Amino acid sequence: MKFFFILLVVLIGLWFWKQRQKKPSKPSTPAKKQDAHVIMLKCAVCGVHVPDTDALAGQRGAYCSAEHRRQAEGL
Ligand SMILES: [Zn+2]
């Protein structure tokens, strides 16, 4: 009898786990909304705007590439 009880608990646990996995990711948040949070930085050399995640930080500002950072700061 104890075995069946454990089996039942395991089956219920698996069912809950499956239900959780079925849940689709919230489509209510559009991608555009997330883009608004991206901070755009202007390259100090060419003036191109790059997301702060892709920008390279230098002593005189942000740069779009290592090449431009080297040009501006002479590193
Ligand atoms: Zn640049």
CA of 35 to the centre of ligand 1 (A): 21
- pLDDT string in tens for the chain (75-residue length): 788 899 999 999 999 899 888 877 666 655 555 556 889 999 999 999 999 999 999 998 999 999 999 999 986
Q: How far apart are CA 53 and CA 66, in angstroms?
A: 14
| CA 28, chain centre distance (Å) | 17
Q: How far is the CA of 25 from the centre of ligand 1 (A)?
A: 37
Neighbours of ion ligand 1 (CB under 5 A): 43, 45-46, 64, 68
CA of 36 to the centre of ligand 1 (A): 22
CA dihedral over 46, 48, 54, 57, signed as positive or negative: positive
Report the domain count for the chain.
1
Q: Print the domain residue range for 23.
A: 2-73
* Residue for token pair 């608004």: 36
State the pLDDT at residue 66.
95
What's the chain's Rg over C-alpha atoms? 26
